[in-house]
Amino acid sequence: MKKGGQYEGLMRCKEEGLIDHIVISTHLPGPQVKEIIQKNEFEGVLLGVNILNRTDKEMLKKRMGLYRWSLLADRVANAGDCIECGACEGACTQHLNIIERLKEIAAWERILDSKMNRFLGFAKKARQKLTSLFRS
């Protein structure tokens, strides 16, 4: 904690009876949340549902199930659309490595898109074969 920061101010407020509890809300990854809880400095932690809180395996499973994970401005959005301007990380109060995570997700998207394209190519050939068999 930063000396003279918000936490110290909250501790004074609690000591003076102005507040009853000190809790936090976070989107940090699990290991960092565990570290915060183990320090026992807060009486509660509110965890948001966030794509960054998922394991790689969970993310791949979710991505495969949805095929596209987000819609933005009425079009399909992919993690690879990130232009790495840094605006999201600059605005993030949890100091998440958003760009790094988007790069990981973009790599998954490329793999899954490749697999999906192979499957669609196979399905198209199979349909053509069946169509030609029924026309004969």
Helix (H), strand (E) at residue 63: helix 56-66
- Inter-residue contact 32 to 39 (CB < 8 Å): no
Task: Name the percent of the chain lying above pLDDT 70.
Answer: 76
Model confidence at 16, pLDDT cuts 50, 70, 90, reads very high
Q: Residue 24: phi, psi to the nearest 5?
A: -130, 160
State whether residue 44 is helix, strand or coil.
strand
For residue range 70-123, list pLDDT tens digits in order.
Answer: 444 445 667 788 878 888 888 888 888 889 888 988 888 888 778 777 777 777
pLDDT tops 50 at residue 23: yes
- Show the CA angle centred on residue 87, arms to residues 85 and 92, nearest 5°: 140
The per-residue pLDDT for 12 is 93
The per-residue pLDDT for 69 is 42
Pairwise CA distance, residues 128 & 48, whole Å: 48
